[in-house]
């Protein structure tokens, strides 16, 4: 069974204090790993897709990396507007088009 575990569940940072969110996964053949951002009361918003170990993608203050067992979302010099829940999801080769989501990390950035 595919599993995705995100840590920490919640993270409080001061503005400008860089940190990383973790997404550990077990899947029988990874087709893709996805990162989403979700604001309260809204649908998840797509950030990145990673397909193979060693791959990295960046967008503004966010950088996603992938190994064979986990992915990290690095946040550099965060701002209060980066506060949100960050979701990780995996798509397995043998799971049709199903996405398995982790529980998310709730990030709070204080000014």
Among 73, 63, 81, which Cα is nearest to 24's? Answer: 73
- Environment class of 6 (CB within 10 Å of its CB; exposed 0-12, middle 13-18, buried 19+): buried
| Out of 44, 82, 84, 92, the residue judged to bind other proteins by CB under 8 A | 44
Residue 99 in the binding site for other proteins (CB under 8 A): yes
Q: Do residues 13 and 78 touch, judged by C-beta distance below 8 A? A: yes
Report, in Å, the least distance between residue 89 CB and other proteins. 8
Please pick, from the candidates 23, 30, 33, 34, the single residue that binds other proteins as defined by CB under 8 A. Answer: 34
- Tell me: does residue 54 bind other proteins (CB under 8 A): no
Give the residue with the Cβ less far from other proteins, 40 or 111: 40
User: In 3-state terms, what secondary structure has residue 76?
Assistant: coil
Which of residues 2 and 70 has its CB atom nearest to other proteins in the complex? 2
């Amino acid at each position: 069974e595919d599993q995705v575990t995100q840590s920490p569940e919640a993270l409080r940072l001061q503005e400008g204090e860089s940190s990383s969110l973790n997404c550990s996964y077990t899947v029988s053949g990874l087709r893709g790993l996805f990162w989403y951002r979700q604001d309260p009361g809204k649908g998840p918003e797509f950030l990145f897709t990673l397909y193979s170990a060693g791959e990295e993608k960046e967008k503004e203050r966010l950088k996603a990396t992938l190994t064979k067992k986990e992915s990290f979302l690095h946040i550099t010099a965060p701002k209060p507007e980066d506060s949100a829940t960050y979701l990780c999801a995996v798509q397995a080769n043998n799971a049709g088009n199903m996405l398995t989501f982790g529980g998310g990390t709730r990030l709070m950035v204080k000014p």
